[in-house]
């Protein structure tokens, strides 16, 4: 009889924090600068320079720690992790080993059996490295230190997950919490959230963990799920064929849908961690901690509850809207400008989601301003434009965040409310389509739809469909 195996997974998640400046100097963290333009003597490891801690990094780390039920280490320290690599200008990374800022937390995820707690072993603060660019043409490697010193937190889970689904649920939960905090945009593709998967298998019922491997280079939920399935199968194959799983770091190749060994435990470097003498310990006072606790945002659960009490919109809409802090912010801001909640929700649930899906975007990518969405709703409410025109305007607004009022004005998209002109057009349409008129009189109700369409076409879409319908019925 075939043995049954259980997968045991723990995650190390790196999140790039959304601070304006780097963790130990005043350089910008903005993406996309020309190489080595967001640098200074500190983040390029020049001799004699010293790190100065960005307080916002500590506040974000504490915020994430509180939201994940961690104990905050009120006396925490930075340590140096020593290793030589050109992307690491000092040849040591400033990180935390001995006294990380957060410990012993958990998040709850939804699983088929209900909810499950995933333990968080620790969260620590550290600096990101630069980027190596290999120039095959010139046969050399170049270093860009723009990312050097960008603040990161590393969230280390307990080995509490048992399937790819649980891993994804855990990551989605972390992402939601961090996005709600505004601590990061958590985009896997862009690397502002990165997950390393520690995985082992064991026979169901076994008490001891199996030998684990660590997998790196996973930059989408899809590749994480595939890598987990692939690694589980690989380890089971090894065990079944009587071979041992080797503790090693493996790199996932998404194209090949396979992982390969990067380095084994035997090659493991001795990082010679020790407390960084350039940075005094961080002492987090009770007052500071309470101030951060007091300014924690409303998280999704509370928001859902409040929406249910405050807005007359379906639970389904609430779930979708609050799934993204950014979408919820847009919803609330638009409603605050006087738009009716259900109408705002409709625009978000239907048109917005459709465009996001079509263009493979995240809700975080929404660029249009609540002011413009409110204006668009107002224009339709006042029948200045009809719903077809409104959808066209929305498409443009989604892409360019135009002001719908002036756009409608400029493009001449206003509904024609001139009864005489409309009547004339309807009469012309009736005259031009005797067959449809006859069909209608013969009881083919559908024929009127065709006539409405013809009238709208003749009016270049700028008529109120209800008025067209009314006039048609009257004149027929």
Between 54 and 324, name the residue whose CB sits nearer to another protein.
Answer: 54
The half-sphere exposure of 72 on its side-chain side, counting CA atoms within 13 A, is 21
H helical segments located in 241-324: 286-294, 300-310, 315-322
- Note every long-range contact of 342-346, with CB atoms under 8 Å and residues 24 or more positions apart, other chains counting: 342/311, 342/312, 342/313, 343/377, 343/381, 344/373, 344/374, 344/377, 345/311, 345/313, 345/314, 345/317, 345/321
> Which of 91, 104, 310, 406 is the binder for another protein (CB under 8 A)?
91
- Say if residue 298 is exposed, middle or buried (CB neighbours under 10 Å; 0-12, 13-18, 19+): middle
Phi and psi of 116, rounded to 5°? Answer: -135, 140
Between 278 and 312, name the residue whose CB sits nearer to another protein.
Answer: 278
Instruction: Please state, in angstroms and rounded to a whole number, the distance separating the CA atoms of residues 458 and 443.
Output: 25
Considering only residues 23 through 42, tell me which ones interact with another protein, judged by CB under 8 A. Answer: 41
92 binds another protein, rule: CB under 8 A? yes
Nearest to 212 by CA among 260, 173, 176, 264: 264
> Which of 45, 159, 297, 465 is the binder for another protein (CB under 8 A)?
45
Nearest to 130 by CA among 210, 29, 241, 59: 29
Between 145 and 398, name the residue whose CB sits nearer to another protein.
Answer: 145
Minimum CB distance to another protein, residue 260 (Å):
21
The sign of the dihedral angle between the CA atoms of 428, 429, 433, 437 is negative
Minimum CB distance to another protein, residue 261 (Å):
19
DSSP 119-166: EEEEEEEEEPP-EEEEETTTTEEEEE-TTTT-EEEEEEE-S-B-SHHH
Between 50 and 233, name the residue whose CB sits nearer to another protein.
Answer: 50
Looking at 83-91, 116-124, 156-164, 439-447, which segment touches another protein (CB under 8 A)?
A: 83-91
Neighbour tally for 14: CB within 10 Å: 16
> Which of 19, 29, 90, 146 is the binder for another protein (CB under 8 A)?
90
Looking at 51-59, 242-250, 374-382, 421-429, which segment touches another protein (CB under 8 A)?
A: 51-59
Considering only residues 213 through 272, tell me which ones interact with another protein, judged by CB under 8 A. Answer: 270, 272
Instruction: Please state, in angstroms and rounded to a whole number, the distance separating the CA atoms of residues 124 and 95.
Output: 7
| Tokens 């009022």 found at | 405
Instruction: Please state, in angstroms and rounded to a whole number, the distance separating the CA atoms of residues 165 and 110.
Output: 10
Between 47 and 294, name the residue whose CB sits nearer to another protein.
Answer: 47
Considering only residues 170 through 199, tell me which ones interact with another protein, judged by CB under 8 A. Answer: none
Minimum CB distance to another protein, residue 39 (Å):
11
136 binds another protein, rule: CB under 8 A? no
Minimum CB distance to another protein, residue 152 (Å):
19
Report the phi/psi class of residue 144: left, alpha or beta, with left for phi > 0 and alpha for psi in -120 to 50. Answer: beta
Looking at 14-22, 76-84, 348-356, 456-464, which segment touches another protein (CB under 8 A)?
A: 76-84
> Which of 20, 31, 50, 253 is the binder for another protein (CB under 8 A)?
50
> Which of 5, 8, 62, 80 is the binder for another protein (CB under 8 A)?
80
Considering only residues 338 through 367, tell me which ones interact with another protein, judged by CB under 8 A. Answer: none
**Residues 6 or more apart from 381 whose CB is under 8 A from it?**
340, 343
86 binds another protein, rule: CB under 8 A? yes
| Tokens 């972390």 found at | 174
End-to-end CA distance of the chain: 79
Residues in binding contact with another protein, number by CB under 8 A: 28
274 binds another protein, rule: CB under 8 A? yes
Report the phi/psi class of residue 217: left, alpha or beta, with left for phi > 0 and alpha for psi in -120 to 50. Answer: left
> Which of 277, 338, 434, 443 is the binder for another protein (CB under 8 A)?
277
> Which of 7, 43, 51, 148 is the binder for another protein (CB under 8 A)?
51
> Which of 47, 205, 242, 255 is the binder for another protein (CB under 8 A)?
47
Between 39 and 184, name the residue whose CB sits nearer to another protein.
Answer: 39
Between 4 and 267, name the residue whose CB sits nearer to another protein.
Answer: 267
52 binds another protein, rule: CB under 8 A? yes
The first and second tokens of residue 245, run together, are 């799983």
Between 55 and 359, name the residue whose CB sits nearer to another protein.
Answer: 55
Nearest to 207 by CA among 9, 10, 6: 6
Q: Which residues of this chain interact with another protein, rule CB under 8 A?
A: 41, 44-53, 80, 82, 84, 86, 89-92, 143, 270, 272-274, 277-280
């Amino acid at each position: 009889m075939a043995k049954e195996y259980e997968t045991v997974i723990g995650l190390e998640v790196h999140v790039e924090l959304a601070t304006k400046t780097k963790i130990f100097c005043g350089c910008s963290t903005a993406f996309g600068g020309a190489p080595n333009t967001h640098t200074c003597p500190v983040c390029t490891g020049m001799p004699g320079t010293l790190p100065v801690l960005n307080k916002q990094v500590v506040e974000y780390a504490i915020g994430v720690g509180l939201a994940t039920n961690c104990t905050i280490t009120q006396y925490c320290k930075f340590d140096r992790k020593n290793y030589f690599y050109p992307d690491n200008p000092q040849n040591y990374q400033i990180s935390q080993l001995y006294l990380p800022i957060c410990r012993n937390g958990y998040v709850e995820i939804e699983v088929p059996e209900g909810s499950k707690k995933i333990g968080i072993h620790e969260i620590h603060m550290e600096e990101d490295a630069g980027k190596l660019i290999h120039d095959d043409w010139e046969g050399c490697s170049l270093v860009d230190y723009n990312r050097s010193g960008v603040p990161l937190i590393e969230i280390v889970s307990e080995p509490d997950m048992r399937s790819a689904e649980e891993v994804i649920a855990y990551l989605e939960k972390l992402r939601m919490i961090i996005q709600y905090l505004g601590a990061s945009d958590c985009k896997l593709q862009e690397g502002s959230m990165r997950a390393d998967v520690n995985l082992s298998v064991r026979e169901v019922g076994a008490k001891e963990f199996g030998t684990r491997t660590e997998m790196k280079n996973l930059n989408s939920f899809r590749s994480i799920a595939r890598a987990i399935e692939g690694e589980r199968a690989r380890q089971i194959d090894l065990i079944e064929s009587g071979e041992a799983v080797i503790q090693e770091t493996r790199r996932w190749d998404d194209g090949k849908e396979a992982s390969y060994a990067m380095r084994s435990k035997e090659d493991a470097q001795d990082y010679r961690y020790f407390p960084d003498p350039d940075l005094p310990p961080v002492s987090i006072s009770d007052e500071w901690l309470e101030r951060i606790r007091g300014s924690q945002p409303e998280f999704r659960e509370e928001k859902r509850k409040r929406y249910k009490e405050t807005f007359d919109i379906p639970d389904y809409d609430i779930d979708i809207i609050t799934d993204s802090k950014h979408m919820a912010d847009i919803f609330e801001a638009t409603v605050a400008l006087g738009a009716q909640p259900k109408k705002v929700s409709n625009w978000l649930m239907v048109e917005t989601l459709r465009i996001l899906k079509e263009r493979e975007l995240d809700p975080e990518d929404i660029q249009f301003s609540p002011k413009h969405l409110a204006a668009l709703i107002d224009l339709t409410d006042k029948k200045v434009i009809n719903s077809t025109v409104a959808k066209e305007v929305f498409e443009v607004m989604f892409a360019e965040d135009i002001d719908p009022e002036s756009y409608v004005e400029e493009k001449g998209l206003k509904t024609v409310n001139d009864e005489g002109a409309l009547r004339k057009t309807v009469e012309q349409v009736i005259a031009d389509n005797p067959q449809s008129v006859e069909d209608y009189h013969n009881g083919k109700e559908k024929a009127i739809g065709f006539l409405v369409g013809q009238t709208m076409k003749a009016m270049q879409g700028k008529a109120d469909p209800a008025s067209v319908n009314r006039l048609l019925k009257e004149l027929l």
